[in-house]
Amino acid sequence: MLFNKPLAEIEESDLQTLIDNQVSEKRPIEYKSVLPGNADGDKKEFLADISSFANATGGDLIYGIREQRGIPVGFSDLKINDVDTEILRLEGIIQTGIAPRLPRVETHAVLLDSETQHYALIIRVHKSFLSPHMVTFKNDSKFFTRNSRGKYQLDVSELRTAFVFSETIAERIRSFRIERLSRISAGEETPALLNEQEAKLVLHLVPLGAFSTSVSFDLKPLNDSFKGKLLEPVSVWDTEPYVRMRFNIEGLVRSTRAEFNASSTIGYTQVFRNGIIETVDMSLLGINAQNVAQFGSNVEPRSFSGERYERKLLEAVKRYIDLLKFLGVEPPLFIMVSFLGVKSYKIALQKSVHHITEYTDEIDRNNLIIPEIMIENFDVNLAEVMKPIFDTVWNAAGYLSSPNYDAEGKFAFGY
């Protein structure tokens, strides 16, 4: 983006620097004196501007600055009586006038004069990997993008290229998941040695921009005792037993073993340099069999706690989103959950704090590849957006939906 700082930190002095240095309109920036009105023509122009940024490299649309031939010459005395209402109005136009819906648009008002209520309003549009986005307004559908001279309408050839690129990204994400699950299942070239005979829970977080050729994040700051905790694998235990962290050809991996001298791991988290996170765990699915073998516990050995695995996954996803924020990875993000080697497993229902008294039917297939979900920003309610994943797992065991949500759809356990 134009400013080398978060949008919320931009001040009047930053905008004045644009004016003083005569920073001209170009691909990632455009100036406007007044806000778009409610007339159809104003809305069409506004939607064309917003979608053109999303379909190109992203950028900042700045209202409240006068320009002459693309050169900023001063503030335009833009008056906004109610900033929140105005932002909601503009966001509403964007949400209903562009398809598919833009994954991320930020808005920030810069107060220039508190007495006169003069503002500058910045709308930051991020490059979208769901492009091309189409302006859909009163049966008038058009595609726009940008070059150094500003926005323009895509022609047929450019549209074809944009759609092919979008389909290629989606296919690469699916192919990545299939390849990784195949390797994990076979114990082939995984970042930590796994027992291929044991059932596994696999979680992938895949940023939509991960497959851009220019994406490579610096993982070195994660290699310390504090930030390294963000890589903590999913685990049935609240603390990691024995930890090892090292760099490898893909990026950085943190693995855990049940015993210090164990040859294989019970789980790992791999952070790829392109921002993808992969974590594998065998403890959640194997703890009941272990308790039966070692202590003669009166539980189904081929079973796992539905409450505990959901809570642990939510904790992990929250942790990994913090990791992605630290690295500077931007949404949207795909969340993918898979179970490997779970045929004939049952899910245990937590009926009280200390007793499990009910089990589901057996899962009737070896691998559960749960359909992915996409989150458009990092501030979502994770328990809410991941409920379809949890419901699908319970479906595989004969249940209608996850019983760990109340009547209002809220997760009943803390995470």
User: Measured on CA atoms in the order 375, 378, 380, 382, is the torsion positive or negative?
Assistant: positive
DSSP string, 168-228: HHHHHHHHHHHHHHHHHHHT-S-SS---TTS-EEEEEEEEGGGGSTT-----GGG-STTGG
pLDDT given at position 165: 64
CA nearest to 63, candidates 94, 83, 36: 36
pLDDT given at position 148: 77
Q: Give the Cβ contact number of residue 242 at 10 Å.
A: 14
Overall pTM surpassing 0.75 (yes/no): no
pLDDT given at position 261: 58
Read off the pLDDT band of 101 (50, 70, 90).
confident
Strand 333-340 versus strand 368-369 pairing type: antiparallel
- Are the beta carbons of 378 and 321 closer than 8 angstroms? yes
pLDDT given at position 64: 94
Beta-carbon contacts of residue 165 (< 8 Å; ≥ 6 apart): 131
pLDDT at 356 over 70: no
Comparing 127 with 323, which gets the higher pLDDT?
Answer: 323
pLDDT tens track for 18-42: 999 999 988 789 999 999 999 999 9
pLDDT given at position 345: 97
- Are the beta carbons of 336 and 180 closer than 8 angstroms? no
Read off the pLDDT band of 6 (50, 70, 90).
confident
d(CA 377, CA 124): 14
Report CA 214 to chain centroid distance, whole Å: 19
Least confident segment among 38-47, 65-74, 207-216, 246-255: 207-216
- Are the beta carbons of 62 and 31 closer than 8 angstroms? yes
pLDDT given at position 152: 85
3-state helix, strand, coil in the chain (%, to 5): 35, 30, 40
Q: Fill in the DSSP letter of residue 34.
A: S
pLDDT tens track for 362-390: 999 999 999 999 887 888 899 999 999 99
Read off the pLDDT band of 351 (50, 70, 90).
low
Tokens 């939509």 sit on residue = 208
d(CA 401, CA 411): 12
pLDDT given at position 407: 85
Relative orientation angle of helices 40-55 and 83-97, to the nearest 10 degrees: 70
**Average of pLDDT values for 80-98?**
93
- Are the beta carbons of 405 and 411 closer than 8 angstroms? yes
pLDDT given at position 61: 94
Read off the pLDDT band of 175 (50, 70, 90).
confident
Comparing 158 with 242, which gets the higher pLDDT?
Answer: 242
Report percent pLDDT > 90 for the chain: 55
User: Measured on CA atoms in the order 44, 50, 53, 55, is the torsion positive or negative?
Assistant: negative
**Average of pLDDT values for 119-141?**
86
71 forms bridges with which residues in the sheet? 68
Q: Give the Cβ contact number of residue 298 at 10 Å.
A: 8
Comparing 115 with 122, which gets the higher pLDDT?
Answer: 122
pLDDT tens track for 303-332: 999 999 999 999 999 999 999 999 988 888
pLDDT given at position 348: 92
pLDDT at 260 over 60: no
Comparing 155 with 73, which gets the higher pLDDT?
Answer: 73
pLDDT at 2 over 70: no
Q: Fill in the DSSP letter of residue 235.
A: -
pLDDT given at position 100: 86
d(CA 183, CA 69): 57
Tokens 């900042």 sit on residue = 60
pLDDT at 394 over 80: yes
Domains in the chain, please, with CATH? 7-154 (3.30.950), 175-185+197-396 (no CATH)
**Average of pLDDT values for 274-295?**
92
pLDDT given at position 75: 94
Comparing 255 with 215, which gets the higher pLDDT?
Answer: 255
| Side-chain-facing half-sphere of 371: CA atoms under 13 Å | 8
pLDDT at 278 over 70: yes
pLDDT given at position 383: 94
**Average of pLDDT values for 225-254?**
89
d(CA 18, CA 90): 24
